[in-house]
Structure formats: structure tokens, C-alpha cells
Structure 1
Amino acid sequence: MVIFWFRRDLRMNDNAGLFHALKDGNQIQPLFIFDSDILDKLEDTKDARVTFIYDTVASLKKNLQELKSDLWVRHGKPLEIFKDLLSQHQITAIYTNHDYEPYARKRDEEVSKLAKSKGVEFKTFKDQTLFEKDEILTSQGKPYTVYTPYKNNVLKTLNEFYLKSYPTETYKNSYSKIKKVEAMPTLQSLGFERTSIEFPPMKVSTKLLKNYANTRDIPSQEGGTSHLGMHLRFGTLSVRELAREGLKYSPVWLSELIWRDFFMQILWHYPEVEKRSFRPEYDKIAWRNSKADFNKWSEGKTGYPLVDAGMRELNATGFMHNRVRMVVASFLCKHLLIHWYEGERYFAKKLLDYDLAANNGNWQWAAGSGCDAAPYFRIFNPEAQAKRFDPNEEYIKKWVPEYGTDKYPEPMIDHNEARGRCLQAFTKALKK
């Protein structure tokens, strides 16, 4: 028996590791683990991402049963689960896809070590990125830390080989056959309840892609962005398929996928950025630790309508428009002088499409502390941003209904005062 372990690749089509497992052998037994090391850290029992994963896994199980196979679904610590599986079954190999986050790397190292100690192969494949690790390097053989030359190298290298799908359906007879259908744990037994949040559809229209460059910065525009981040995060869609669409219809859309790869290779080469600034000198800034200010920001009560609209959209739906993400991140780090890590952690709890590499990279970009970041003296004016990107206040009025009445608070800090304070604090720390 060969195990295929689903993780951030919750689809049967165009799945690199699954394709190799099916092609290389037979009796392929698919497995999914609800990882208690991850789930136990989630604070909200109605965390919408767990419902999404649960329903996707249930759908995978049903699809496999239609092929007279089944998906084993377990709940616990991956290492312990593999210890049990290896002692109970004659397993010759474990196949899975690469994951680049520090926790995932440690987990995979432990499972690989265990497998090898039992004479079992542990094989992993590239699936969630177009390019990874050391595939795109500078002429000096070093990782890129600036996006534009990285992107140019990607576009020069990208060809059919990197974009082709893996035809898993060709080998569907390689799945193990059902002896008895295994029950799936309930959502409640995992410690969670069903969410009422709606999930984005798993498709992007040609019209959206063709207009993407013009519509992506307008938060009030229905269908201005794809909302596919969640499907990329959990692998319900293939990045290769989306990149082919981008090449055909929208270079700007494709460049967003390249940003995603860029931040993943940054996290791979510099895993320390998970908890500290890419530019360590930014951690020397005299950041303010104001719980009251952080709470006003997180609840959308800052008195800056675009910031408040964004935070309320996030809290209600698990989504925030990308342009607005930049504004609210800049506001927390530069207007309120609160460390980017605090905001990054809040987004990690709330975003449906939360992805450590991209979230971390974008927060550090906004703070000025990241690779290829906005310079520290670039401080978004939330009012100017609102006038430019929400001129009719449609987005603001949708999420901040009391805006324009005496119930709406005054700005918690004057923009010019905040800007001056920020420049002083940043200059003091960075000029040393």
C-alpha cells in the first residue's frame, strides 16, 4: 500500500504528488489529517476555514467512493497518526506535496524520519507554486529579495513545461479499492461549529481577467477581483491552471500569482521572517503597545472611514479588498506605530485566504520592514486613498452606515500629527 497525504492540495485533478503516486504504483490510499497542532491554536469555534476544509474533504471522500475507493480521514498529531498507520498496515511509501512554512517543514522532517526508520519512502513534489526554492535565482546563485527582477526572470523562464497539468484521471484505476467505507469525524468532534460565512465560487470569468487591471483597485466594484485566494490557499484550484488563464488574458493577474511565489521563496530562504522583520533594524523602532488603539483599529472605529470599512468587511466576511489591506496595514504600523506582527496575527485569525508567506510579506511591505518594501517615509493618507479609490463612498457607506452622522467618531489621531510622529520614530531607529 502507498499513502497519498492531502494537505494544501485539496483536489484530485492536476495534483502533482497524487499524479506521481498513481503513476508509480497501485493500491494508492489517500489520507487527510485534521492536524490538532494547527486546529488547537484556532480561537474561534466557528472559524470558517475549518468548515471550508471539512466540506472540501467530505467532497473528496465522496468522489473517491464513486471510484470504488475511499479517503481515510484522521484527527490528531500527524507524527502519532503515521506511527499508528505504519504499525497497522504494510505501507511501502508516502507521497505528498511540498509545503514551505516553518511548521510544515518541521512536521514533514519528523514524518520523513519516522518513515525512513521503517524502510518506507517519503516523497514530496512541487504543486502549489509555479517556481520554488532554488529554481529562480540571481546570476550570483542567490535568492531574489526584490520583486521586479524576480518577476522578469520568471517570465523569461516560464514555458509550457511549468504550466502543464498533471493528468491524474489517466491512472484512476491505481486507487485502493474499498473493503469498508470509513466514517469521517464530525465537525463537532473536531471542536468546531459550522459557519454562516459564504465561500467564494471556484471560478474566474474571462471578463474579469480582461478588465482586472482596471477594476482591481476599486473596492466597491462587484467582481473587480477574483476572490480566489482561499482556493489557492487550500489547493482546491491549481496554480498552473490559473497562470495559463493569466497568460492568455491578464498580465497583471499573472503578476499577482508571481508575487505569491516570490513571498513563498522568501519564507523558504528566510524562515526567520515569520516572527521578525526581514530588515532587523525595524524591530528597534520604539513601537507603541497600545491595546486601546489596537482595539479601535480591529473593530473599525478609528474615525478614518476607509480603514473602518476594511476592518468591518474583514470581521464580517473573512475577506478584505487588496487595496484596502494596504491602507489598513499602513495605518496600524505608521499612524498608530503598532508593530506589523500584531496586525499580521489579527489577519491570520480572520482572513479566509490567510497564507503565512503572502500575509507576512504584505504586512512587512506596508511597514517598510520587508524585502522590496515601501520606503519607511511612504505613509498612506487614508482620506486621499478613499477619494481616489472610493470617490462616491459606495464601499465606505456599505460597511460604515453611520458615516456622516454624529454617531461616527472623530479621527483617533490627526493624519499630519501621525505622519510626523512616525517619521520621527522611524528616523531615530533607522539612522543609528
Structure 2
Amino acid sequence: MSSSRSRPVIVWFRRDLRIADNPALTEVAATGAPVIPLYIHDPALDGRPMGAASGWWLDKSLRALATELEERGAPLLLRSGDPEATLRVVINETGADAVLMNRMFEPAAWERDAEIAHGLKADGVACRGFNGTMLARPGSVRTGQDAPYRVFTPFLKALLDKAEEPAPRDGPRTLDGVAGLTGEAVDDWGLHPLRPDWSTGFDWTPGESGAREALSRFLAGPLTVYGEGRDIPGEDGTSRLSPHLHFGEISPWRAIRAARQAAKDGRVPGKQAEKFVSEVGWREFSTHLLHHFPYMAERAFRPEFEAMAWRDDGEGLEAWKRGMTGYPVVDAGMRQLWATGWMHNRVRMIVASFLVKDLLVDWREGEAWFWDTLVDADMGANIQNWQWVAGSGADAAPYFRIFNPVTQGEKFDGEGKYVRRWVPELAGLSDRWIHAPWTAPTEVLAAAGIRLGRDYPAPIVDHAMGRKRALDALEQIKSARDKD
């Protein structure tokens, strides 16, 4: 792009709601061209309707971005509707002759962007895409046989070998905006719940500054023991960066660079920093997989698992959603999710295993619930993680790996801190009984003020029975596959 431009350029924001390390915005600022920062509200931006918790986050993140852009001289223009039609309206209003964006890699979004770029270019409007969200562009990390990786460990090694770290950029301090444009208001979109407002317990600060605060908090504490601490749900041991990364309020490179710098400075052990890098790599792996294998959004990555004899258990599914299964660590996780829009990573695996294995409910039911209720609902990660637990995904845990919710609770929440916080009706039980209250003597339950079936449910399924049923279903798949 020429540095002597006078016609305005549209920067189309999507999953890159930040100023720093934003390649599209940096490119325009370097030319000195008038810039029109544009956000188009499309509820199906990822290719499927946005979840309610994601809408809550988007509401706050857009307000934060608008403030940052206003301070720099280029107000954020908000419009809603079909992306291509809306872009064309803004182009006609302003005479813009270029659209810059940071690419999205979800299959439907990728195809849509390609069609838009093709259409705009045919009409003489330049359209350029950048990688502002991933460590490496999907398609750039391939095996020696020029195929997508299906196993995480070699993918991570290849990713870290291949990916080129961009220079950090704080972003433009001033922008040449375009006056006189009228847009919509965030309030018009109804993203914040009102009646009822189920978000009153959401303790988050969406936006770029909130992302940096979260990173600073992580570096100062949890990262020092991250490898072990991230498995203890009762402690503050995780990064809590996932929603900030999903909405692009911070680049994954900035987060990795900060972690590695902390290790280099001796503030955290190098092993802990690299464990965090590998977790960012898992997010990357998930996005790359979905990009290469779009069908996994709807179907099992491993086709034989489409024959799984899932149960239609509406009551069990509802009890799981409400945190009323009778298994304390499962219920604690589901209640944390509803109250905060987030769930601890270890507990996500436990509750997913319970739904898919103990209840034998289709993983797609759980994936849909997480999509609606998680503030960090990322399509690639959500689908990949559920298929990982279900045994049907790439490099998945074997289906016969079935978490016992009692022993998982005892191992990772031995003092019951997590359960007592989220299942307060069990707070009076000692550590010995808190993860399996139905095994406690009657007098112990009475002393704790608990009547099973009234104050807290009895287990909705016997774990040993559910485990056997799940393994039997797996054997049916194996038998059918062997016959083929």
C-alpha cells in the first residue's frame, strides 16, 4: 500500500479486538491513510450462532475497543447485518478503496472471507488478510508427507520450529479517522442479558487492558507452579487468558513472549513457561484440525464413532446442566460454569467424561452447552476437547479412559475447597465424605444438615454401571468395525 494515500481504508475487526500486535491496523497506520475501524455484528461470525456468554463478553470488549480507538482519533463504526453487504454500504458511503482484516480460520468464516475478498477485488476494492490470531497460519505446519498433523506432540514441535515470531508492536498512538459516519450502538444489539441478568457473578474485565492485567497476574503467581497448579480447581492456578485470546484482546505471541521472558529473567522455572506454551499450542492444534477437517464440527473425527449407541437421556442431561448429578465435583464444575461463564480446565474433563461415559450422552450435547455458557467458547478448542474426551477425535484419549468422579475429586480437590465453594449444601461434610456423600453414615449426614434426595441429590447413575455400559458400547463399535 502506498504511503501517500488519501482515500480511506476499512479495518474490519472480528476476533482481533485490540490495538497492539494488530497486523491489519498497523499496516494502515503506517501508510497514514484515513482509517475506518469497522465491526459488523453478525451473530454467526464463526459459522454458527454465538453463545449467550460469548455475547456478554463481546458487549464489554467492543466498548473497551471503542474507547481505545476514540482516544486515537478513529471512532469504531458499528454496523450489523450480512458482512459483504455491510462492507459494500460503508465503501459506498466513504469511498474506501481497501479492506484489511485479520483472518479467521473456522471453515465457514474462511470460505465467507474468501468469497468477500474475491467479490470486492472484482469491483476494484483491494482486500488483504493477515494472521493476527494464531502462532502460525493453518496450512503452514504440515508433516513430511505434506499432510496435516493428527497427533499433538509432533505438531507442537513442528509448530514451534516453523512459526515465525513477529516483532512486538504497541500499536499506533494516533489514527486519522473519518468524520461524519453514523453507526449503531452496542446497546442496540442486546448482548447483555437483562431479564434475568444471569451474569451478575461474572468476574471478568473484557478488553485489551483486561487481557494485559490477566497476563500480569498470571506471570506474578500461577505461572511459577503452572504444571501442577493448573490441575487444582480450588486454587488460582490457571492463566484465565482463554477468553482474551479467543476475542483477540491479546495475541498468543505476546503471551508466550512474556512467559518465556519471565523464565529468562529467573522469575519462573523454564519448565513451567514451556508448559504454558504447550497449552497455547493445544489451542493452535485445535484450530488447525478444524480448519483442515471441517466435518469434525458435526461428526466424529474418527468415523467409526458415529455408530456409538448414545442414549437419549433428557433428565440426565438436564441434571448435568444444573449441577444436580449427585457427584459433587461434577456439580461444582457445572455450577461454576453457570455462575461465572468459565470452568476450571481439569474439571472440564471430569464433567465431560461424566456426560459422555457415565450417562452415555452424545458429546455434541455437551459441546453445545459449553458453546452457549462459556465466555471462552472457541469453536476449534471446544469441538476438539469434547471429541478428545469422547475418544472420537484426533490424538484423543482412548474411550476406555473413564474418569471416576469420586477419585478425581479426591485427587485434585482433596480438601474439598472447590466443592465447598460451589456446592455449599455439602460444606458441613468432612474431607472424608465430601466427594461421595451417599457413602457417609446417616448420623454424619444428619450432623451436616444433609438429607440426600432433598438437600442434595443422590447419584443419578451408579458409576460402575455407567462405566460398564460405556465399555459395552465401545465393544459394539469395535465388533462392527472388525466385521467391516
Q: Which residue of 2 aligns with 1:180?
A: 180
Question: Counterpart of 1:168?
Answer: 171
Contact 2:308 2:473 survives alignment (8 Å)? yes
Residue 123 of structure 1 aligns to which amino acid in structure 2? R
> For residues 56 and 332 of structure 2, what CA distance do their matches in structure 1 show?
25
In the alignment, which of 222, 238, 245 is matched to residue 251 of structure 2?
A: 238
Give 1:245's aligned amino acid: A
Residues 2-81 of structure 1 aligned to structure 2 (within 5 Å): 2-24=9-31, 26-37=33-44, 47-81=52-86
The whole-number CA distance in structure 2 between the counterparts of 1:144 and 1:368 is: 17
Q: What are the equivalent positions in structure 2 for 1:97-176 lying under 5 Å apart?
A: 97-158=102-163, 161-169=164-172, 172=173, 175-176=175-176
Q: CA deviation at 1:178?
A: 4.3
**CA, structure 1 residues 389+10, in 2 after alignment: closer, same or farther (shift >3 Å)?**
same
Q: Name the counterpart of 2:474.
A: 426
Residue 219 of structure 1, aligned match among 206, 209, 233: 233
Counterpart residue number, 2:277: 254
User: Is this contact kept in 1: 2:32–2:176, CA < 8 A?
Assistant: no
CA contact (8 A) 2:74 2:178 kept: yes
Distance 1:147 1:37, change over 3 A: closer
Q: Secondary structure at the match of 1:129?
A: coil
- Cα deviation per residue 1:208-259 (whole Å; 9 max; x = unaligned)? 21221121000000x2111111100101111111011233431111110000
Which residue of 265, 279, 299 maps to 1:276?
299
Choose 361-370 or 177-186, whichever is displaced more: 177-186
- Seen in structure 2, the aligned counterparts of structure 1 residues 423 and 218 have a Cα distance that, compared at 3 Å, is same
Identify which of 84, 95, 117 aligns with 1:90: 95
Distance (Å, rounded) in 2 between the aligned partners of 1:67 and 1:43: 30
Residue aligned with 2:99, SS: strand
1:286 corresponds to which letter in structure 2?
A
Describe the shift of the 1:13–1:94 C-alpha distance in structure 2 as closer, same or farther (beyond 3 A): same
- Deviation by residue 1:165-204 (Cα, 9 ceiling, x = unmatched): 24532xx55x333423745414245465464322154222
Superposed, 1:335-414 pairs within 5 Å as: 335-403=358-426, 404=437, 405-406=450-451, 407-414=455-462
Amino acid at match of 1:307: V
Structure 1 residue 261: deviation in Å? 0.7
Cα contact 1:51–1:187 (8 A) shared by 2 = no
AA aligned opposite 2:11: F
Give the TM-score, by structure 1 length: 0.92
Q: Aligned residue pairs: how many? A: 424
CA distance in 1, matches of 2:50, 2:18: 27
User: What secondary structure sits across from 2:424 in the alignment?
Assistant: coil
Question: Using the alignment, how far apart are the partners of 1:94 and 1:349 within structure 2?
Answer: 31
Distance, in Å, in 1 between the alignment partners of 2:79 and 2:181 is: 14
| Amino acid across the alignment from 2:476 | K
- TM-score if structure 2 supplies the norm length? 0.83
1:217 and 1:323 in contact (8 A); partners too: yes
Question: SS at 1:108's partner residue?
Answer: helix
Alignment CA distance shift 1:219-1:354 (3 Å):
same
Match of 1:210 in 2: 224
- Distance in structure 2 (CA, Å) of the matches to 1:21 and 1:430: 56
Q: Residues 24, 427 of structure 1: CA spacing in aligned structure 2 closer, same or farther, 3 A cutoff? A: farther
CA distance in 2 between counterparts of 1:213 and 1:162 reads 24
Partner SS state of residue 316, structure 2:
helix
For 2:242, the aligned partner's letter is: G
Deviation for aligned residue 1:360: 0.5
Structure with greater Cα Rg: 2
Q: Secondary structure at the match of 1:331?
A: helix
> Residue 225 of structure 2 aligns to which amino acid in structure 1?
N
Gaps spanning 5+ residues in structure 1: where?
none
Judged with a 3 Å threshold, the aligned counterparts in structure 2 of structure 1 residues 176 and 114 are, in CA distance, closer, same or farther, namely: farther
Unaligned runs of 5+ in 2: 1-7, 264-272, 427-436, 438-449
- Alpha carbons 2:36, 2:178 under 8 Å: kept: no
Q: Is the 8 A contact 2:53 2:372 kept in 1?
A: no
Greater displacement, 30-39 / 110-119: 30-39
CA drift of 1:41 comes to 7.2
| Letter of the structure 1 residue corresponding to residue 233 of structure 2 | P
Preserved contact between residue 70 and residue 182 of structure 1 (Cα < 8 Å): no
- Following superposition, the deviation at residue 37 of structure 1 comes to 3.9
Question: CA contact under 8 A between 1:163 and 1:243: conserved in structure 2?
Answer: no
Aligned to 1:316: 339
Check whether the contact 1:70–1:181 (CA below 8 A) recurs between aligned residues: no
